Amino acid sequence: MKKSAITPPAAQALLRIVLPVPLRREFDYLCPLPLPAPGCRVKVPFGNRTLVGLVLSHPQQADIDMSRIKPVTAVIDNTPVLSEAELQLLAWAAQYYLHPPGEVYLQALPTLLRKGEDAGYKPVEIWHLLEGDSSTLSRAIKQRQAYELLQQGPMTPGELAARGVTSATLNALAKKQLAEKRECLPDRIDWHSHIHINEDGKPRLTTEQALAVSLLQQAGGFSPFLLEGITGSGKTEVYLQAMEPVLKAGKQVLVMVPEIGLTPQTIARFQHRFPLPVCTLHSAMNERERLDAWLACKDGSAAIVIGTRSALLTPFAGLGLIIIDEEHDSSFKQQDGFRYHARDLALLRARMLNIPIVLGSATPSFESLHNAASGKYQLLTLSQRPGSATVAEHLLLDSRHVQLEAGLSPQLQQLMAEELEKGNQVMLFLNRRGYAPVLLCHDCGWLADCERCDAHYTWHKSGNRLHCHHCDHQRAKPPHCPQCGSLQLVGTGLGTEQVEQALAMLFPQYSTIRIDRDNTRRKGSFEQHLEGIRAGKYQILIGTQMLAKGHHFPDVTLVAMLDVDGALFAGDFRAAERLAQLYIQVAGRAGRASKPGRVVLQTHHPDHALLQDLANQGYRHFAQTALEERHQAGLPPYSYQALFRCQATQGEACREFLVPLAQQLIPALPATVLCLGPFSARMERKAGQYRYQMLLQASNRRDLASACRRALAITDTLAAARKVRWSLDMDPQEL
């Protein structure tokens, strides 16, 4: 009798993993031994797809019926791509934000790793010399030159091409067995043992700076600092000197900057002081660049990492200090998907790693001021500018009852003329690009409205188009009114394009540059414009927010904000805080060097308390008053909020989901939690979607979290939940 071969069941055990699916749960799979460690990636079948998942643990028992458990398709990593500490951070984040864990964990991985790519550097091709008799090259001049070049060390084909060496020449050398092309990993510099600090350009610290630096350098373990320093007070110098002992100890430093702050100038400043591997992480990098930078953080070959929001989720071999510059900036909060706040998670990360963290700003967020006042953060203050730089004079210009020309009052034009005549630069700030924010028919009142949003199109005269700034929809400007046929289509309101045009008429002898998203789209054009401004090519600058942040223009002596009145009466309770931050930021552009500066705010409400406070008393005073108001009203940071957002192509579908959710939730809430809504978003329809929301507000975080969990449990029972797109936003920044 023939014996059939019995294959013993392969030794297998359970894996608990997370998958990139919008479900608030983990998944169990079977895997042959030895099991991949937590933090390794696996490929698994899911429905009729194969997904890349991340191993969290090795459970003894499955959370579903064993017969339904499937085996993994493949194990991708031998060693974890995320360490225990990073897994712990992400587990905490998933809990705190009550977000589907798979989306949280996988957010920490570069796209290529999410797709299952090897967690390794891409090998590069290099040419190097082989042992051999090079005397045969005496007559082949090109080959001789290439040979001599390679005697200095191996080079990539690109480097050789840049020096005029063709591949034909190289192939000829290869044929003679004098050189060969080989793949190898890029050089990783071991910087830890030979740290050099460039003393060139290192200033003598002011007393305030010296105090801040010494407190930071002595900080051991988890210690959060708020560095509140007026624009130009030398915060960056404080960061640089605080980094010294950390780098000398061979530890890495993470510097987080807002989206718009990551300029070549910023990077150059760090690189100049520390000739060490500096690596950047931001959204404009391609997938491969991101993965390589991510690996350099993880394996420790990057000493300094400068990055935007997502850099916070990157693994580090040995992080010793976190710096968050412009900590109040709203770009640190992710506005879709996993809506985390990088500053808040950075604090958690610093606590877990037991390292210091510095939050720096000229206009700290109210949350941070509150934390400093309550003693959670140590406050460091820089109230003066080093050297001879003077602090600007602030003026409120009443624009009531005066004839404005493209938004400029005669008084402002007069001030501009005075500065321009002295050879100084003038900067005008208007946070609205395009020609006019509204196009209307003079005869019948027709308005050019976006079909997909509750919003007007902005008229862009250059290109003769209408552009919706909310959904990005564009169309040609109609030649006549679609309603009555009139040719009298006129723009109302003011955009940067219009001001630029008017300036050319008002100040024809001076050249003007406009800086906004429309004319800085081309890569490098923003930098080019900035260069032109610094070189004095332009005398008048007109721009949006882009111009307001972080750029130093020593010859600007007059800064004017043309129209911020809208923000004074916006419904969002954070609007005043944002306006104040913007105002101070813009004001910071004036009088940075030895020339005294003026800051002008043109307004129809010169008596408004907020503006008076800002212009006469400064940000700190304003913040104290505004914080007191928040306290009275029980608003954050004196309470905590969570927002259920919902959208659908029909408003009715949103209400069918949110109304029963609120109805079932409210009776179960403790007295500490308020439920507001459902109500429509400020702009009800955007990009064809109706948007509704429900706000929970609580006096303490624990009650807020349990109310949210209860609400999430209710959503599981509502069939209407599947007909809409909804999400939960913890600590929403925009209501």
Selection from Zn ion, ligand ADP, none that 450 binds (CB < 5 to 8 A by kind) is Zn ion
Selection from ligand ADP, Zn ion, none that 318 binds (CB < 5 to 8 A by kind) is none
User: CA-based angle 508:513:516, to the nearest 5?
Assistant: 140
Selection from Zn ion, ligand ADP, none that 483 binds (CB < 5 to 8 A by kind) is Zn ion
Q: Which C-beta is closer to Zn ion: that of 439 or that of 590?
A: 439
Give the tokens for residue 500: 């630029």
Question: What are the start-end ranges of the E strands in 316-383?
Answer: 319-325, 356-361, 378-382
> DSSP assignment of 554-589, as one string?
TTEEEEEE---HHHHT-SSTTHHHHHHHHHHHHHTT
Question: Of 714, 710, 645, which is closest to residue 679 (Cα–Cα)?
Answer: 645
- Packing angle, helices 609-617 and 575-587, rounded to 10: 30
- DSSP bridge pairs for 378: 225
**Total number of residues that touch Zn ion (CB under 5 A):** 15
Q: Shortest distance, CB of residue 433 to Zn ion, whole angstroms?
A: 15
Q: Shortest distance, CB of residue 597 to ligand ADP, whole angstroms?
A: 14
State how far the alpha carbon of 588 is from the alpha carbons of 112, 549, 552, in Å: 41, 9, 9
Q: Shortest distance, CB of residue 517 to ligand ADP, whole angstroms?
A: 24
Q: Shortest distance, CB of residue 574 to ligand ADP, whole angstroms?
A: 23
Instruction: Give residues with Cβ within 8 angstroms of 343, minimum separation 6.
Output: 256, 324, 327, 332, 359
State the Cα torsion 719-720-724-730 to the nearest 10°: -90
Q: Shortest distance, CB of residue 297 to ligand ADP, whole angstroms?
A: 24
Are the CB atoms for 251 and 303 separated by under 8 Å?
Answer: no
Chain residue at closest Cβ approach to ligand ADP:
234
Q: Which C-beta is closer to ligand ADP: that of 545 or that of 706?
A: 545
Q: Shortest distance, CB of residue 500 to Zn ion, whole angstroms?
A: 24
Give the tokens for residue 478: 């109609």
Cα gap 26→46, rounded to integer Å: 13
Site string for Zn ion, 400-439 (x = CB under 5 A): ----------------------------------------
Selection from ligand ADP, Zn ion, none that 518 binds (CB < 5 to 8 A by kind) is none
Cα gap 530→574, rounded to integer Å: 31
Selection from ligand ADP, Zn ion, none that 452 binds (CB < 5 to 8 A by kind) is Zn ion
Q: Shortest distance, CB of residue 450 to Zn ion, whole angstroms?
A: 3
Selection from Zn ion, ligand ADP, none that 484 binds (CB < 5 to 8 A by kind) is Zn ion
Q: Shortest distance, CB of residue 385 to ligand ADP, whole angstroms?
A: 7
Selection from Zn ion, ligand ADP, none that 613 binds (CB < 5 to 8 A by kind) is none
State how far the alpha carbon of 269 is from the alpha carbons of 265, 274, 284, 504, 666, in Å: 6, 9, 20, 36, 54
Selection from ligand ADP, Zn ion, none that 602 binds (CB < 5 to 8 A by kind) is none
Q: Which C-beta is closer to Zn ion: that of 164 or that of 445?
A: 445
Selection from Zn ion, ligand ADP, none that 470 binds (CB < 5 to 8 A by kind) is Zn ion
Q: Shortest distance, CB of residue 478 to Zn ion, whole angstroms?
A: 10
**Residues found near ligand ADP in the complex (CB under 6 A):** 203-206, 209, 229, 231-237, 386-387
Dihedral-angle region of residue 460 (phi above 0 means left; psi in -120 to 50 means alpha; beta otherwise):
beta
What is the Cα 478 distance to its own chain's centre? 37
Pairing state between β 223-229 and 378-382: parallel
By CB under 5 A, residue 691 contacts Zn ion: no
Q: Which C-beta is closer to Zn ion: that of 227 or that of 453?
A: 453
Q: Is the peptide bond before 636 cis (omega within 30 degrees of 0)?
A: no
Cα gap 483→444, rounded to integer Å: 8
Q: Which residues, 306 to 325, sit near Zn ion by CB under 5 A?
A: none
H helix runs in 8-140, sequence order: 84-97, 101-107, 111-114
Q: Which C-beta is closer to ligand ADP: that of 171 or that of 198?
A: 198
Q: Shortest distance, CB of residue 568 to ligand ADP, whole angstroms?
A: 27
Q: 454, exposed or middle or buried, with CB in 10 Å at 0-12, 13-18, 19+?
A: middle
Cα gap 341→323, rounded to integer Å: 15
**Residue indicated by tokens 């993880």:** 298
Are the CB atoms for 308 and 262 separated by under 8 Å?
Answer: yes
Q: Which C-beta is closer to ligand ADP: that of 68 or that of 204?
A: 204
Q: Shortest distance, CB of residue 531 to ligand ADP, whole angstroms?
A: 17
Q: Which C-beta is closer to ligand ADP: that of 245 or that of 386?
A: 386
Q: Shortest distance, CB of residue 358 to ligand ADP, whole angstroms?
A: 12
Selection from ligand ADP, Zn ion, none that 79 binds (CB < 5 to 8 A by kind) is none
**Residue indicated by tokens 């004098």:** 178
Selection from ligand ADP, Zn ion, none that 468 binds (CB < 5 to 8 A by kind) is Zn ion
Q: Shortest distance, CB of residue 291 to ligand ADP, whole angstroms?
A: 31
Residue type at 163? Answer: R
Element (H, E) at 674: strand 673-686
**Residue indicated by tokens 């959710």:** 661
What is the Cα 625 distance to its own chain's centre? 29
Selection from ligand ADP, Zn ion, none that 206 binds (CB < 5 to 8 A by kind) is ligand ADP
Selection from ligand ADP, Zn ion, none that 443 binds (CB < 5 to 8 A by kind) is Zn ion
Q: Which C-beta is closer to ligand ADP: that of 32 or that of 536?
A: 536
Q: Which residues, 435 to 454, sit near Zn ion by CB under 5 A?
A: 441, 443-444, 446, 450, 452-453
Site string for Zn ion, 461-500 (x = CB under 5 A): -------x-xx-x-------x-xx-x--------------
Rule CB under 5 A: which residues touch Zn ion?
441, 443-444, 446, 450, 452-453, 468, 470-471, 473, 481, 483-484, 486
